[in-house]
């Protein structure tokens, strides 16, 4: 019970960190940093700290599992999470509105619940479905409560939304892959090796689609943002994220990730000065209630 409660608290803190990544990225983009290079620098900077974490854990004999025997699932976690999901998310964002991107990101729990049933043999209970839809409705109110109208039938706009939806599916796949991997590989090693698999692909994408020389023109404040996001919001957050999967079902973790929308809107209001409307506050409350329902309504497990 204590470990489960601590895991849920950890997930909540992770959602705050990941929401702040979006805000910090917006600030960095205003100073000339491009999306894929941001993702590439973020995960490249995270790698040395992950290597240190693996080394320290190995000295304490806390690591478990055979990396070579599980390289396929680790590769899947790296390609679907740090690489494809993140890169596509920012590409889609450049083609559609920020508000619609945030709303579409909340489709990830839907994909996770659907995949967790056949892959992880997790039961889809009425309480879980209720919590999922309540959280999704709340997230929708947060975004649509203050969003301006857009030309929804513009081809570029539609393509951007489609790309974002694909990124949410891939992030859900990443969550399922992580849940499967932590059964035989420790969270620290999983985070490190999945990131190492992803980084070359991210840089390759940046090289072919963006101007790499922009790195030479970044200010100290942008580098400070990149360092913070790489170390705290990436290295530390992902280690804790995978570790929490040992105590919480993957589908329920995906539901809890709706909180990213709540914190993101609040930080956008406080840090960026973006407007916050009454319907958005109601949506925030519904999202939190949905997460609580998914948390408190547990399945009865047989005692060994």
Q: What is the pLDDT of residues 224-246, one digit of tens each?
A: 999 999 999 988 887 787 677 67
Cα separation, 80 vs 85, in Å, equals 6
**DSSP notation for 29-79:** HHTT--HHHHHHHHHHHHHHHHHHHHHHHHHTT---S-TGGGHHHHHHHHI
Sequence-ordered list of residues with C-beta below 8 angstroms from that of 15, at least 6 positions apart, any chain: 256, 257, 259, 260, 262, 263
Residue boundaries of the structural domains of the chain: 2-296
Q: Residue 54: is its pLDDT beyond 90?
A: no
Inter-CA distances, 148 with 18, 100, 137, 144, 275, Å: 25, 10, 18, 8, 12
- What integer pLDDT is reported at residue 1 of this predicted model? 61
Two tokens at 111? 């994909």
Q: 161-182 pLDDT, tens per residue? A: 788 889 989 988 988 888 788 7
- Looking at per-residue pLDDT, the higher value among 272 and 40 belongs to 40
Over range 255-265, report the average pLDDT: 77
Mean pLDDT of 107-136: 74
Which of 135-139, 163-167, 291-295 is predicted most confidently?
A: 163-167
Q: Give residue for tokens 């409307």.
A: 277
For the chain, the first-to-last Cα distance in angstroms comes to 16
Tens of pLDDT along 202-231? 999 999 999 999 999 999 999 999 999 999
Name every residue whose Cβ is closer than 8 Å to that of residue 299 and which is 6 or more positions away in sequence: 123, 125
- Cα distance between residue 224 and residue 237, in whole Å: 18
Q: Is the pLDDT of residue 16 over 50?
A: yes
Q: Which residue has the tokens 């979006």?
A: 22
Q: Contact at 8 Å (CB) between 235 and 46?
A: yes
Per the document, the length of the chain is: 304
Given this model, what pLDDT does residue 299 score? 42
What is the percent of the chain with per-residue pLDDT over 90, rounded to a whole number? 22
Please, are residues 258 and 106 in contact by the beta-carbon 8 Å criterion? yes
Over residues 259-275, mean pLDDT: 80
Q: Are 38 and 223 in contact (CB under 8 A)?
A: no
């Amino acid at each position: 019970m204590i470990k489960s409660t601590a895991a849920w608290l950890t997930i909540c803190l992770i959602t705050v960190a990941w929401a702040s990544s979006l805000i910090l990225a917006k600030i960095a983009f205003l100073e000339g940093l491009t999306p894929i290079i941001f993702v590439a620098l973020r995960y490249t900077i995270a790698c040395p700290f992950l290597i240190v974490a693996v080394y320290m854990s190995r000295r304490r004999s806390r690591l478990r599992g055979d990396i070579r025997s599980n390289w396929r699932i680790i590769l899947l976690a790296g390609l679907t999470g740090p690489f494809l999901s993140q890169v596509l998310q920012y590409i889609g964002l450049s083609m559609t509105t920020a508000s619609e991107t945030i709303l579409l990101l909340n489709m990830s729990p839907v994909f996770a619940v659907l995949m967790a049933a056949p892959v992880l043999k997790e039961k889809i209970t009425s309480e879980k479905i209720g919590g999922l839809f309540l959280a999704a409705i709340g997230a929708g109110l947060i975004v649509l409560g203050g969003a301006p109208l857009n030309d929804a039938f513009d081809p570029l706009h539609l393509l951007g939304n489609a790309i974002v939806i694909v990124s949410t599916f891939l992030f859900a796949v990443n969550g399922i892959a992580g849940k499967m991997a932590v059964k035989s590989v420790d969270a620290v090693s999983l985070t490190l090796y999945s990131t190492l698999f992803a980084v070359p692909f991210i840089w390759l994408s940046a090289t072919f689609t963006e101007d790499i020389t922009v790195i030479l023109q970044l200010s100290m404040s942008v580098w400070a943002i990149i360092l913070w996001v790489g170390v705290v919001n990436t290295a530390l957050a992902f280690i804790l994220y995978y570790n929490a999967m040992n105590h919480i079902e993957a589908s329920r973790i995906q539901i809890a990730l709706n909180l990213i929308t709540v914190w993101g809107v609040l930080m956008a209001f406080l840090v960026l000065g973006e407007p916050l409307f009454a319907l958005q506050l109601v949506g925030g409350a519904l999202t939190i209630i949905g997460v609580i329902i998914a948390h408190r309504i547990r399945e009865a497990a047989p005692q060994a």
